[in-house]
Amino acid sequence: MTKSPFKGTTGFKRIWNAYHYSLAGLVSAYRHESAFRQEVALGLPLVITALVFPVSYLSKALMICTVLLVLIVELLNSGIEAIVDRVSLETHELSKRAKDIGSAAVFISLINCILVWAFVLLDQFL
């Protein structure tokens, strides 16, 4: 098996490169993916709300983690869509399935976020 030429760095240099690749990925997602921009626009006020809302630190963490999970799943979905489109723009059953499954993952993460926020808020007010 041939070693990948892209896997040559180790230690701090690898961490530094990974950091820059991650930032490039976030910038790319923000520039090119309207769903990611929408979720960031909704997520930032939610994170701020969670930070100032008078609930336990555990509740704050759960609220913030669910928002971040939506963003993570959206990034993965966008990656799936990009690679499917890279392979072929032609309509194909497997391409549709991959995109639909990615979309379903985003949908479930949004439901998870809504449920956690609802339970935390209900617990606070009831």
What are the catalytic residues?
74
> Which residues, other chains included, contact 28 with Cβ-Cβ below 8 Å and sequence gap of 6+?
none
The number of C-alpha atoms within 13 Å of 17 and in the hemisphere containing its C-beta is 9
Contacts within 8 Å (CB) and 24+ apart, 46-53: 46/117, 53/124
Cβ distance 98 to 80 under 8 Å? yes
d(CA 78, CA 76): 5
Whose tokens are 């921009």? That residue is: 37
